[in-house]
């Protein structure tokens, strides 16, 4: 089910993505089945699905870390052939470099591209400020809380000025309250520096709070597109809003049918 | 609510009565008693000739050590001997790690290197390093070379294993991160592999160090003219138990000191590892 | 989560390389000796070692005993010391982990003994016990007791505190908690100690025998050196390695069988 699109240019195009893994013992695991998805520029799209529905794999394919068995991904019209800084990926397990400070982590991307020290320090400082971690530049990851670590992850991905941001269940390991806080922060960061965002989660509230558009996957392998929802609620959104709760109810009902 | 808070405050402030049970149960008190008893029993046993003059009294040991600081034994003061042993360890260990660590890293990163080296390594690994002493003497004589050689053999295995395991235990997603940030293969290795493997390499240092001590002492026991092992075997040959025990005490102190140094170094270089360990 | 695509076939060369490597190793070794690149007083070839191996099963000279006697003596000494280390070290370590009194009294002594490498005890032991089997067993025992105590201690300290608290709410006594909760919970660490202590004991056996023995694999090595017979030295070394491996395999087998029943 596709809604009408706005007149923004299309940023990401996934055509007929299929992915089959060959596990040990020659067992074939069919993870994704003919997924097609269009994402417009500066749109916030959430891929929603319960665990084991293949959504992380889809994100990794778009990131370029995996290659699809069939189909291809186009970003700005160009096919994705491997990982790269134009797609910023934020990992579920933070994956920070434990031996580098916050500044060291965030400036890693520019550093790999050969940006001179002064310039990359400025870039990193800008994004550290964006995620609200001023004053923590010299801290090491083990000195930070979970929410702060993930903010470093976001800043690190943003520092490369990516065309799209990909977030893979970034708040899955945080407690409920930190999670609410991080959702608000994410919305704020996105409003401040607009970017095309693909956000993967299994949390319905989170999806409705953040998304312009929610794409749900069926709850079992192989992952197939289920229903897409356009979320037109005004921002900032309230979890207790009537419209919010109605949509929530709708999505919950629909997803129960597939489990 | 306020009442409960006050009640708890009161309980905490109440002094626990000083019963004998409390004293006897206190850890530090027991430590003190234990050490006192140890030295007392030692002294009495020495006097009573339990080991028929084979056991020196504690103060005799102290006297012996004191005199060795200033009267040279076979041309070296006590500190000179300490340095002789330490020097051998440092040289042997450095050479071993310079070869073993890169080799271990390469084995973990490259399947072909692994296929060539691992079978040889598995073949040579089960032989205890001390077993090499005799062949080392056969090859290199009784000089410094054979001693350093043993230390190299002994420390080679743990160094290589640590480098190897250190690399294999790196979280594979960290490589994904570097690739997403625009890094190539060489960046994966330099920026991720090395630093992430460091803690494991350090963990093995302690083990390698204790092995190195065993090696150097054993080598010195068999044939040496200097070193801490030399001191204790000399003590045996001269029938001076105070020298033997004194030497053992010095060995214990020096070995402990070096181990602390390595721990300190680890804390300096890898501050994040301690947090993960939870110590 | 990172999925891995498992390659179904290992390239042929990868499977051949290990064999090639070993063949090359032994081949070079054999050639080095045959071509007298190294004098025959310093090195023996694999074939020579194997010949000696065959001979020593029946020939007592020149070291005074059959190969089987050497192996048996070494194994006996190592095992006695090892078992004694287990018998003393493990209960002590377990008790130290739970009972403050035991820890308070034993810890200082243990911490003082611990940094002394077992090798360092050799002269004192010879001075006290002379060159006999009891001295060697003492050294092996000292070497093996340290990992036993440490691992058992850590095993008890790592017991889940929730389990202990739960037992207390049932009114269990200290001894009951120790026996029913701490000890079973520490078993994995204790089993870890079995392997580590064995390796320690085997290494220290070598040390003890190198200096003070008239039979045993370590003695064989020393004799070989004194008589300038490198094939004897190398035979002793290889037998040490082999026997160590075999014993390790045996222990592993027993550990797996025991643990299979206990594993949660």
Domain match, A251 and A170 both = yes
Phi and psi (nearest 5°) for A29? -110, 115
* Contact in structure between C236 and B131 (CB atoms under 8 Å): yes
Check whether C211 has a pLDDT greater than 90: no
Per residue in C131-141, pLDDT (tens digit) is 778 888 888 99
Which chains have at least 3 CB atom pairs separated by less than 8 Å from chain B? A, C
Supply the CATH number for residue C183's domain.
1.10.3720.10
Q: Is the pTM of this model over 0.80?
A: no
Single residue among A127, A144, A161 that ends a domain in this structure: A161
Q: What is the 3-state secondary structure (H, E, C) of chain C?
A: CCCCCCCCCCCHHHHHHHHHHHHHHHHHHHHHHHCCCCCCCCCCCHHHHHHHHHHHCCCCCCCCCCHHHHHHHHHHHHHHHHHHHHHHHHHHHHHHHHCHHHHHHHHHHHHHHCCCCHHHHHHHHHHHHCCCHHHHHHHHHHHHHHHHHHHHHHHHHCCCHHHHHHHHHCCCCHHHHHHHHHHHHHHHHHHHHHHHHHHHHHHHHHHHHHHCCCCCHHHHHHHHHHCCCHHHHHHHHHHHHHHHHHHHHHHHHHHHHHHHHHCC
| Mean pLDDT on A140-155 | 90
Mean pLDDT, chain A, rounded, equals 85
SS3 B262: helix
Contact B213 C117 (CB under 8 A): yes
Instruction: Please count the residues of chain C.
Output: 264
Neighbours of B6 (CB within 10 A): 10
CATH number at residue A178: 3.40.50.300
A87 chain-B contacts, CB cut-off 8 A:
180
pLDDT at B273 over 80: no
What CA dihedral angle connects A44, A49, A54 and A58, to 10 degrees? -10
* B96-155 tens-digit pLDDT: 989 998 898 888 888 888 888 888 888 888 888 988 988 888 888 888 888 999 999 999
Sequence length of chain B is 279
DSSP secondary structure code for residue A142 in this structure: G
Tell me, yes or no, whether A73 and A107 share the same domain: no
The total number of structural domains that make up chain C: 1
- Chain-chain contact of C108 with B35 (C-beta, under 8 angstroms): yes
Query: Which stretches within chain A are classed as H helix?
Result: 55-63, 102-106, 108-112, 117-130, 146-158, 176-192, 204-210, 242-258
- pLDDT value of residue C177: 84
Angstroms from B203 CA to nearest CA on chain C: 16
Within a domain: residue C191? yes
Give the residue numbers spanning the domain of C139: 46-262
Residue C28, domain member (yes or no): no
Q: Nearest by CB to B111, from C14, C25, C43: name it.
A: C14
Instruction: State how far the Cα of C132 lies from the Cα of C73, in Å rounded to an integer.
Output: 12
Share above pLDDT 70 across residues of chain A, in percent, rounded to a whole number? 94
CB contact under 8 A, C21 and B116: yes
Indicate whether A246 belongs to any domain: yes
User: A236 preceded by cis ω (within 30°)?
Assistant: yes
The ipTM assigned to this model is 0.80
In a domain, A181, yes or no: yes
Domain ranges of chain B: 66-273
Please check whether residues A153 and A223 belong to one and the same domain. no
Domain hosting A34: range is 10-86+164-258
- Are residues A244 and A121 part of one domain? no
A151 and A169 assigned to the same domain:
no
Q: Is C130 on the interface with B (CB under 8 A)?
A: no
Distance from chain centroid for Cα A110: 21
Cβ neighbours around B263 below 10 Å, total: 14
**Mean pLDDT throughout A29-45?**
86
pLDDT above 70 coverage of chain C, percent: 93
Q: Does the residue A207 lie in any domain?
A: yes
One domain, residues A15 and A58 = yes
Percentage of chain C exceeding pLDDT 90 = 8
* Confidence category of residue B278, pLDDT binned at 50, 70, 90: very low
A198, A39 in Cβ contact below 8 A?
yes
- Same domain for A155 and A179? no
Interface contact A63-B270, CB threshold 8 A: no
Please enumerate in sequence order all residues whose Cβ is within 8 A of that of B174, keeping only pairs 6 or more positions apart, or say none.
A95, A97, B192, B196
Number of domains in chain A: 2
Is A107 inside a domain boundary? Answer: yes
CATH class held by domain B66-273: mainly alpha
Radius of gyration for the alpha carbons in chain A, expressed in angstroms and rounded: 18
Same domain, A122 and A73: no
Query: Looking at the structure, do residues A151 and A196 belong to the same domain, yes or no?
Result: no
On whether both A33 and A68 belong to a single domain, the answer is: yes
Question: Sorting pLDDT into bands at 50, 70 and 90, what band is A153?
Answer: very high
**B198-220 as b/e: b if 16+ CB within 10 A:** bbbbbbbbeebbbbbbbbbbbbb
Q: How far apart are CA C210 and CA A128, in angstroms?
A: 63
Three-state DSSP class for residue A70: strand
Tell me the shortest Cα–Cα distance from C181 to chain B, in angstroms.
22
Q: What is the pLDDT of residues A41-75, one digit of tens each?
A: 888 999 888 877 778 888 888 888 888 888 888 88
pLDDT of residue A4: 42
């Amino acid at each position: 089910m596709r809604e009408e699109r706005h007149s923004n240019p299309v940023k990401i195009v996934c055509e007929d993505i299929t992915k089959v893994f060959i596990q040990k013992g020659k067992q074939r695991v069919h993870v994704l089945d003919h997924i097609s998805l269009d994402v417009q520029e500066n749109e916030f799209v959430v891929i929603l699905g319960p665990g084991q529905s293949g959504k992380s794999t889809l994100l990794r394919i778009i990131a370029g870390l995996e290659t699809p068995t069939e189909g291809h991904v186009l970003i700005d019209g160009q096919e994705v052939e491997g990982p790269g800084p134009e797609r910023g990926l934020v990992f579920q397990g933070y994956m920070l470099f434990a031996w580098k400070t916050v500044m060291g982590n965030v400036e890693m991307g520019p550093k790999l591209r050969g940006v001179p020290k002064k310039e990359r320090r400025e870039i990193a400082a800008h994004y550290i400020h964006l995620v609200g971690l001023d004053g923590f530049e010299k801290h090491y990851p083990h000195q930070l809380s979970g929410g702060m670590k993930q903010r470093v992850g976001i800043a690190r991905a943003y520092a490369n000025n990516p065309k799209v941001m990909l977030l893979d269940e970034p708040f899955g390991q945080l407690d409920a309250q930190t999670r609410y806080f991080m959702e608000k922060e994410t919305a704020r960061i996105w409003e401040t520096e607009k970017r095309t965002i693909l956000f993967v989660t299994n949390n319905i509230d989170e999806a409705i709070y953040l998304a312009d558009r929610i794409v749900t996957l069926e709850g079992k392998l192989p992952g197939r597109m289920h229903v897409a929802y356009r979320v037109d609620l005004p921002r900032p959104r309230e979890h207790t809003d009537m419209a919010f709760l109605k949509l929530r109810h709708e999505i919950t009902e629909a997803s129960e049918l597939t489990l | 609510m306020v009442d409960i808070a006050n009640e708890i405050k009161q309980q905490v402030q109440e002094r626990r009565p000083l019963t004998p049970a409390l004293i006897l149960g206190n850890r530090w008190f027991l430590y003190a008693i234990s050490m006192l008893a140890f030295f007392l029993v030692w002294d009495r046993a020495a006097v009573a000739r339990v080991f028929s003059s084979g056991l020196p009294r504690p103060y005799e040991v102290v006297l012996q050590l004191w005199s060795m600081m200033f009267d040279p034994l076979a041309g070296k003061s006590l500190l000179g001997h300490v340095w002789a042993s330490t020097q051998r360890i440092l040289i042997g260990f450095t050479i071993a790690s310079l070869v073993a660590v890169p080799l271990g890293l390469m084995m973990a990163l490259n399947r072909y290197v692994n296929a060539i080296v691992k079978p040889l390594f598995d073949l040579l690994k089960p032989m205890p390093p001390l077993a090499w002493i005799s062949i080392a003497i056969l090859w290199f004589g009784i000089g410094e070379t054979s001693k350093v050689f043993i230390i190299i053999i002994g420390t080679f295995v743990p160094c290589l294993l640590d480098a190897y395991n250190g690399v294999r235990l790196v979280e594979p997603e960290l490589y994904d991160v570097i690739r997403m940030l625009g890094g190539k293969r060489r960046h994966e290795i330099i920026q991720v592999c090395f630093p992430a493997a460091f803690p494991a390499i350090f963990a093995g240092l302690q083990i390698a160090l204790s092995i190195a001590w065993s090696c150097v002492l054993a080598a010195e026991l068999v044939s040496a003219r200097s070193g801490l092992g030399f001191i204790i075997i000399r003590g045996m040959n001269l029938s001076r138990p105070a020298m033997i025990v004194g030497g053992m005490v010095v060995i214990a102190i020096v070995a402990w000191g070096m181990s602390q140094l390595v721990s300190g170094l680890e804390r300096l270089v890898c501050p994040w590892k301690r947090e993960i360990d939870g110590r | 989560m990172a999925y891995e695509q498992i390659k179904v076939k290992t390239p042929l060369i990868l499977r051949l390389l290990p064999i090639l490597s070993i063949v090359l190793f032994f081949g070079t070794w054999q050639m080095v000796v045959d071509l007298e690149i190294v004098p025959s007083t310093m090195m023996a070839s694999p074939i020579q070692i194997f010949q000696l191996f065959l001979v020593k099963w029946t020939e007592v000279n020149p070291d005074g005993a059959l190969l089987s006697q050497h192996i048996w003596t070494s194994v006996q000494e190592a095992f006695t010391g090892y078992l004694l280390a287990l018998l003393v070290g493990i209960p002590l370590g377990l008790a130290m982990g739970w009972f403050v009194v035991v820890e308070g009294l034993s810890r200082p002594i243990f911490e003082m003994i611990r940094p002394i490498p077992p090798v360092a005890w050799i002269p004192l032991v010879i001075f006290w016990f002379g060159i006999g089997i009891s001295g060697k067993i003492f050294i092996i025992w000292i070497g093996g007791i340290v990992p036993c105590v440490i691992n058992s201690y850590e095993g008890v300290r790592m017991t889940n505190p929730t389990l202990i608290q739960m037992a207390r709410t049932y009114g269990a006594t200290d001894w009951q908690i120790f026996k029913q909760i701490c000890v079973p919970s520490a078993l994995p660490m204790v089993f870890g100690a079995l392997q580590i202590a064995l390796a320690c004991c085997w290494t220290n056996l070598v040390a003890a025998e190198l200096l003070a023995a008239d039979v045993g694999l370590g003695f064989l090595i020393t004799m070989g050196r004194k008589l300038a017979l490198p094939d004897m030295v190398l035979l002793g070394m290889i037998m040490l390695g082999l026997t160590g491996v075999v014993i390790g395999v045996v222990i592993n087998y027993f550990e797996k069988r025991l643990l299979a029943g206990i594993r949660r």
